[in-house]
Structure 1
Amino acid sequence: MPLPPRLELLTPEEMGRADALAIAAGIPGPDLMAAAGRAVARAAMRRFRPCRTLVLAGPGNNGGDGYVAARLLEQAGWPVAVAALAPPRPGSDAALAAAAWRGPMLAFDAAEAGRAELVIDAVFGAGLARPVEGRAAAVLRAVRAPILAIDVPSGLDGATGQVRGLAPQAALTVTFFRLKPGHLLLPGRGLCGETLLADIGLPESVLARLAPRAFRNAPGPWRPPAFGAEAHKYSRGHLTILAGGEMTGAARLAAGAAHRAGAGLVTILAPDAAAAALYRAGDPGTIVSEAGLDALLGDERRQVWLIGPGLPGDAATRAALGRLLAAGRRVVADAGALTACAGDPGALAGAAVLTPHAGEFARVFGPVGADKPAAARAAAAATGAVLLLKGADTVIAAPDGRLAINDNAPPSLATGGTGDVLAGTIAALLAQGMPGFEAACCGAWAQGEAARRHGPGLVAEDLITLLPSALKSARVN
């Protein structure tokens, strides 16, 4: 299914190739720079009133965009000056833009930066490969006015969202053609402030040459399952949840979410009679069994299993996971099932979806590190499972290299039980026939949308009641 407009994410390297392909196709580089600078100037005029504006210009194309923006703002009557960290390379597009600037040039120093009422940060772009330090860092640190950043705030890694040395807080960031992962990943997303994506005339055809493998998670690459009049409870899938005897709330939350996410049947497999009695006191629509794992594995209709919520990360949980995988079941492994495989990612090979938070990921695969997309992709490739690395900037990676970044999760989701709801939602979507990557993307987005609809004061139980409306909106977006 083709992506809706502008969901693709391009790394700085891919964006450089997009520019090169456009130029090779006959679009002059100076025209692209003029369009970028024009987009910046228009954004400044729409967001801010005319005021003493300082453009901090670097020596590359980012600086060239700044020179163009300065010239257009001055033509509109704004009091504008440029302070250059270094001159552009002779003969470059940026040098042409700098030569067209006839306005005042100021010293690139902290004093000038501190006097400005608006600063346009055109020092470094998203592909910066070294830390911002020395004079550049001192000048950016001295800014007290609102900052409009071109492409990214200087020092922000466009591929990872991490800060290289220093990156200032922008009020507005203007970027071009497609967003980069760093615009969505933390801390980059917060440092960009409001992010505006501008069209500068790059043809859409360059995307086919680039074949990007990352996108912003939203409906379009996936849709929730839809069933016709002939559907029945078995055609909508039977999910079985392997539950524990102590933290019973986790499995109950997962089961409630699975019901609301559309699974036809949901069974909780309890470890003993006492736990089964607790589970039977809950949602009457949930089947509760204490027949044992081998007995339920004998039912071929039980193809999708969720293991982990409320379970201890011990040898018994690991053994149960191994039996499910050996039986060829589609398994969502969460919480205790992940901890049970600490230091041994091979024990998770064959699972359909893994849903760790950063701590669980570190136990199994090692620290996430500075490059969250790379870490998630490597874990997915190593296990053959879809890897959903939870957080405010959840990353979903497929073994084949596809990657989605989910950025619609509000802070209200940072409460106990929401991970159990997410695991149950994803497992229910798998049971209804969605592929693992699409199910993980859909589950993460639907949970964020449900939380947005609720607002402050959210608890995990609230998500369950809002899932149907969130999923319905995904079918029509």
Structure 2
Amino acid sequence: MDQLLTSAQIRATETAAMAAGDVTGLDLMERAGAGVVDAVFSTWPGLKAGGEAWVLAGPGNNGGDGYVIARLLDGRGWRVTVFALGDPARLPPDASANHARWAELGETRTLAALPEATGQPALIVDALFGTGLTRDLPDEVRRALAGVAEVARDGATRVVAVDIPSGLCADSGRRRGCDLPADLTVTFHSAKPGHFLADGPEICGALRVVDIGLRSDPGPEVLRLTSAPPRRVVHKSGGHKYNHGHVLVLAGGPGRGGAARLAARAALRVGAGLVTLGPTPDALGENAARLDAVMLAPVADAPVLARILDDSRLNALCLGPGLGHERARDLVPVVLAARRATLLDADALSAYSGTPSALFDHLHPACVLTPHDGEFAWLFPDLADRLAAPPGDGAAFSRLDAARAAARRAGCTVLLKGPDTVIAAPDGRAVLNAASYERAAPWLATAGAGDVLAGLIAGLLARGLAPVNAAALAAWLHVEAARGFGPGLIAEDLPEALPGVLRGLKD
């Protein structure tokens, strides 16, 4: 399932299911606990019955899941101790019922007793706080978790988080006092944004999603993960080259053409029918020596570019990589006035640091902006400040929130780069391209990789994809190409790895 439900959305899904009589709260708790236990033993089949387990149970329904897990582990022959936060007598009804069931079998100690606990548990279950955490963890909990982390540090103890590691915000992936990283996180019905955003992948360990019998009808506001497109979306189905679009990639002066050449080659590889590189006249020779299928057209200045754009077959424009700030300020207004599908990256963004309104006043819905975190801070300093500030009470501001706000302000699609790349449209639609867990691609941290991404987006824009779809698909292809190549990747390898990715797409 590619949808990522926020804390509020998953609560609404559970409430609706219970109100409809489809399931009870006790049913959901039992299924969740059983799902965690099954995930533990499928992940680590070497864990043997008779081992010692500590279950950390919180004061809410996450703690109720913990009591189910304790009971099920006991039934498998494990020696289980529960360490509870708060008074079990004040638990919500379903959690209280499961505490009562556990009390017939084993011991419940207070969380404050953890520092005196002895032994070396093979398994620690973190069921203190789930997805609803909207404040920093209390100091007493942080101290307890830090102590547990010391116990687990020798590598012999496995730590399992129920729904999400305690102290990690389920909506933003930001730390709220999270001091116990998990080896495995087991969540229910769908993953949550915080599993993939910010610190989430680092803290969650491996991630498993367990079906507990809920149904949801996600609306357009639900965040989704990018996924493999059908073959027909990117494969060509006949016609001549102009049926598949013509990209103009604007380039800089002598010695600055590498980034734009990477973008141009990527645009061609992703299926644009034609790609033209537009360097300054004095850089024409060096680019001609490096290019064959990519055409060349010297672009001296804004008036020359305006004449070139009289050719309406140039239906997608890419500028920024290696462009230079002065040249960007000269050419960006001409490009935006043409009202064509436009990718703005690198220098086309940073040239407007300090004066972002000078850019925003001319953007249109067919544009895509692709800032990394630094460029984002130059264009949207207030949003970047909110991301950098401590979360405070209430919902933590996330990269998803920031990208959506930026897209609304700019009036076009914004792709905020990172291992957790968020692509947001002005109407609030958003997708997340996560290079984490099984899709980790650390080799993308290399010079020029962003230039290739810019070219992929421009090529897909030329082929007629809507801006948010072009950006999302390009981000997915970018990661898959890196994963297909593997260690040792440099940016030049990405376009060459792309045919293998495209061949592997399913109908």
Query: 1:98-121: per-residue Cα shift (whole Å, max 9, x none)?
Result: 111121122313325674332100
Q: Do the aligned residues in 1 keep the contact of 2:372 with 2:417 (CA within 8 Å)?
A: yes
* Aligned-partner Cα distance in 2 for 1:278–1:120: 61
Q: Do the aligned residues in 2 keep the contact of 1:307 with 1:337 (CA within 8 Å)?
A: yes
CA separation of 1:445 and 1:118: change in aligned 2, threshold 3 A? same
CA separation of 1:159 and 1:222: change in aligned 2, threshold 3 A? farther
Query: 1:3-44: per-residue Cα shift (whole Å, max 9, x none)?
Result: xxx101101111111110111111111111111011112223
Once the two structures are TM-superposed, the CA of residue 223 in structure 1 deviates from its matched residue by 6.5
Give the unaligned 5+ runs of structure 2.
Answer: 153-157, 388-396
Once the two structures are TM-superposed, the CA of residue 299 in structure 1 deviates from its matched residue by 0.4
State the one-letter code of the partner of 2:100: A
Provide the secondary structure at the position in 2 that maps to 1:290.
Answer: coil
The answer on 1:265 being equivalent to 2:274 is yes
Please, which of 390, 398, 415 is the counterpart of residue 388 of structure 1? 415
Query: 1:225-244: per-residue Cα shift (whole Å, max 9, x none)?
Result: 33323x11000100001110
Normalised to the residue count of structure 2, the TM-score between the two structures is 0.88
- Superposed, 1:141-220 pairs within 5 Å as 141-143=146-148, 144-145=151-152, 146-202=158-214, 204=215, 206-208=216-218, 212-220=221-229
Q: Do the aligned residues in 2 keep the contact of 1:222 with 1:442 (CA within 8 Å)?
A: no
State the one-letter code of the partner of 2:314: R
2:62 equivalent in structure 1: 62
The answer on 1:34 being equivalent to 2:40 is no
State the one-letter code of the partner of 2:97: L
Shifted more, 153-162 versus 241-250: the winner is 241-250
Provide the secondary structure at the position in 2 that maps to 1:13.
Answer: helix
2:330 equivalent in structure 1: 319
State the one-letter code of the partner of 1:17: A
Query: 1:43-98: per-residue Cα shift (whole Å, max 9, x none)?
Result: 23332333210100001010000000110110111111111011353552111111
CA separation of 1:130 and 1:223: change in aligned 2, threshold 3 A? farther
Provide the secondary structure at the position in 1 that maps to 2:124.
Answer: strand
CA separation of 1:457 and 1:471: change in aligned 2, threshold 3 A? same
CA separation of 1:45 and 1:87: change in aligned 2, threshold 3 A? farther
* Aligned-partner Cα distance in 2 for 1:212–1:172: 28
Normalised to the residue count of structure 1, the TM-score between the two structures is 0.94
Q: Do the aligned residues in 2 keep the contact of 1:412 with 1:456 (CA within 8 Å)?
A: yes
1:3 equivalent in structure 2: none
Once the two structures are TM-superposed, the CA of residue 385 in structure 1 deviates from its matched residue by 1.4
CA separation of 1:68 and 1:372: change in aligned 2, threshold 3 A? same
State the one-letter code of the partner of 1:429: L
State the one-letter code of the partner of 2:41: M
Q: Do the aligned residues in 2 keep the contact of 1:41 with 1:70 (CA within 8 Å)?
A: no
The answer on 1:330 being equivalent to 2:341 is yes
Give the unaligned 5+ runs of structure 1.
Answer: 1-5
2:78 equivalent in structure 1: 78
2:3 equivalent in structure 1: 8
Once the two structures are TM-superposed, the CA of residue 382 in structure 1 deviates from its matched residue by 0.8
Q: Do the aligned residues in 2 keep the contact of 1:56 with 1:83 (CA within 8 Å)?
A: yes
Once the two structures are TM-superposed, the CA of residue 220 in structure 1 deviates from its matched residue by 4.7
1:281 equivalent in structure 2: 289
Shifted more, 425-434 versus 129-138: the winner is 129-138
Percent identical pairs in the alignment equals 44
State the one-letter code of the partner of 2:498: L
Once the two structures are TM-superposed, the CA of residue 222 in structure 1 deviates from its matched residue by 9.8
* Aligned-partner Cα distance in 2 for 1:453–1:235: 29
* Aligned-partner Cα distance in 2 for 1:90–1:118: 24
Once the two structures are TM-superposed, the CA of residue 453 in structure 1 deviates from its matched residue by 0.9
* Aligned-partner Cα distance in 2 for 1:360–1:90: 47
Please, which of 461, 471, 491 is the counterpart of residue 430 of structure 1? 461
- Superposed, 1:288-327 pairs within 5 Å as 288-290=296-298, 292-314=304-326, 316-327=327-338
- Superposed, 1:234-245 pairs within 5 Å as 234-245=242-253
Q: Do the aligned residues in 2 keep the contact of 1:214 with 1:404 (CA within 8 Å)?
A: yes
Q: Do the aligned residues in 1 keep the contact of 2:251 with 2:280 (CA within 8 Å)?
A: yes
Please, which of 101, 106, 114 is the counterpart of residue 109 of structure 2? 106
CA separation of 1:321 and 1:468: change in aligned 2, threshold 3 A? same
CA separation of 1:441 and 1:90: change in aligned 2, threshold 3 A? closer
The answer on 1:372 being equivalent to 2:399 is yes
CA separation of 1:19 and 1:112: change in aligned 2, threshold 3 A? farther
Alpha-carbon RMSD: 1.8
1:468 equivalent in structure 2: 499
CA separation of 1:344 and 1:337: change in aligned 2, threshold 3 A? same
Once the two structures are TM-superposed, the CA of residue 343 in structure 1 deviates from its matched residue by 3.3
Q: Do the aligned residues in 2 keep the contact of 1:172 with 1:193 (CA within 8 Å)?
A: yes
CA separation of 1:296 and 1:138: change in aligned 2, threshold 3 A? same
Q: Do the aligned residues in 2 keep the contact of 1:223 with 1:442 (CA within 8 Å)?
A: no
How many residues are aligned here?
465
Once the two structures are TM-superposed, the CA of residue 322 in structure 1 deviates from its matched residue by 1.2
Shifted more, 103-112 versus 214-223: the winner is 214-223
Provide the secondary structure at the position in 1 that maps to 2:233.
Answer: coil
Q: Do the aligned residues in 2 keep the contact of 1:377 with 1:401 (CA within 8 Å)?
A: yes
2:130 equivalent in structure 1: 125
CA separation of 1:393 and 1:87: change in aligned 2, threshold 3 A? same
CA separation of 1:328 and 1:77: change in aligned 2, threshold 3 A? same
Provide the secondary structure at the position in 2 that maps to 1:353.
Answer: strand
* Aligned-partner Cα distance in 2 for 1:199–1:446: 28
Please, which of 309, 331, 352 is the counterpart of residue 367 of structure 2? 352
Please, which of 232, 241, 248 is the counterpart of residue 233 of structure 1? 241
2:392 equivalent in structure 1: none
